């Protein structure tokens, strides 16, 4: 069993996060928020044809579904992974994509260790947008992510998590999403941090193309007396809107990961 006190040990973890400079994220259900109801163009590492032609996918951005805090993680072995940037948050929206292709990728992260773990990847489902959470500052060098449904081996491990809302023990289960860094074109605004001459003159690629997120289902320990899930009001600002959302229980832990295509 993982003790929450492990989060305050000085021993830091090693692995994908240290090399990639990307936080773990604990993601909470949004129970009240405004749909974006907007069209964007997205291009991630899957949006390239067999002969190397870059493609942009036109998607409709719908309801906000998850809000993600950077989180400090401790394993039962005492490995502690600190927060890299407390200002970096993600707001995840459902998207209506136009493509669907099944492929297999190989990922490594702190849960897989040195082993390379296969994931079967399905259609894109979510756009993760860098978001400011007041009173924190705006995100810094945090990419947009296009998140695909996946199927893979369950982690089945307890961890302790500490974020800006609380500290708790959770049980980590199956992977549900693979999030690729993505180019996003929203109106005349092109999201990213570095210019990519291989695309178009006015298109900017993600600043950290090697940094992916694999998001796993998490479950909190059951209580002896079940009660209604509490909600929190959170003021957020991003390229789509400025609003106060309400969030409920955490359901995902997103872990910095490296990815390569199988075969």
Domain total of the chain: 1
- Look at residue 6 and give its three-state secondary structure: helix
C-alpha distances out from residue 181 to 117, 118, 133, 164, 175, Å: 19, 19, 21, 24, 18
C-alpha to C-alpha distance for 262 and 260, rounded to whole angstroms? 6
| 8-state DSSP, 167 | E
- The domain in which residue 231 lies consists of 4-261
Q: How confident is the model at residue 47 (pLDDT cuts 50, 70, 90)?
A: confident
Pairing of β 204-205 and β 167-186: unpaired
pLDDT at 191: 61
Count the helices and strands in the chain (H runs, E runs): 1, 16
Mean pLDDT of 222-239: 83
> Does pLDDT of 14 surpass 70?
no
pLDDT at 115: 82
For the chain, the average pLDDT equals 86
- Kindly state the helix (H) or strand (E) to which residue 228 belongs, with its residue range: none
Mean pLDDT of 76-89: 94
- Kindly state the helix (H) or strand (E) to which residue 75 belongs, with its residue range: strand 57-75
For 82, the token pair is 């600190």
Mean pLDDT of 79-106: 92
pLDDT at 99: 72
> Does pLDDT of 42 surpass 80?
yes
Taking the whole predicted model, whether its pTM rises above 0.85 is answered as yes
């Amino acid at each position: 069993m993982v003790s929450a006190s492990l989060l305050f040990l000085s021993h830091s973890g090693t692995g994908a996060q240290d090399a990639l400079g990307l936080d773990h994220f604990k993601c909470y259900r949004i129970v009240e928020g405004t749909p974006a109801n907007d069209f964007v163009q997205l291009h991630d590492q899957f949006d390239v044809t067999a002969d190397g032609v870059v493609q942009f996918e036109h998607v409709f951005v719908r309801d906000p579904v998850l809000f993600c805090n950077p989180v400090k993680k401790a394993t039962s072995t005492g490995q502690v992974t600190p927060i890299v940037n407390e200002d970096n948050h993600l707001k995840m929206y459902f998207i209506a994509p136009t493509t669907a292709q099944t492929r297999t990728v190989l990922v490594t992260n702190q849960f897989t260790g040195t082993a390379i773990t296969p994931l079967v990847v399905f259609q894109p489902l979510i756009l993760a947008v860098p978001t400011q959470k007041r009173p924190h500052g705006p995100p810094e060098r945090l990419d947009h992510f296009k998140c695909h449904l996946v199927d893979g081996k369950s982690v089945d491990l307890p961890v302790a998590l500490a974020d800006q809302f609380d500290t708790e023990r959770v049980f980590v289960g199956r992977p549900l999403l693979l999030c690729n860094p993505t180019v996003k074109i929203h109106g005349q605004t092109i999201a990213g941090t570095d210019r990519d001459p291989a695309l178009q003159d006015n298109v900017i690629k993600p600043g950290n193309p090697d940094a992916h997120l694999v998001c796993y289902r998490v479950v909190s320990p059951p209580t002896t007396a079940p009660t209604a899930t509490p909600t929190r009001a959170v003021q957020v600002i991003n390229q789509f809107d400025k609003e106060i959302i309400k969030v409920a229980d955490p359901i995902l832990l997103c872990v910095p990961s490296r990815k390569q295509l199988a075969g």
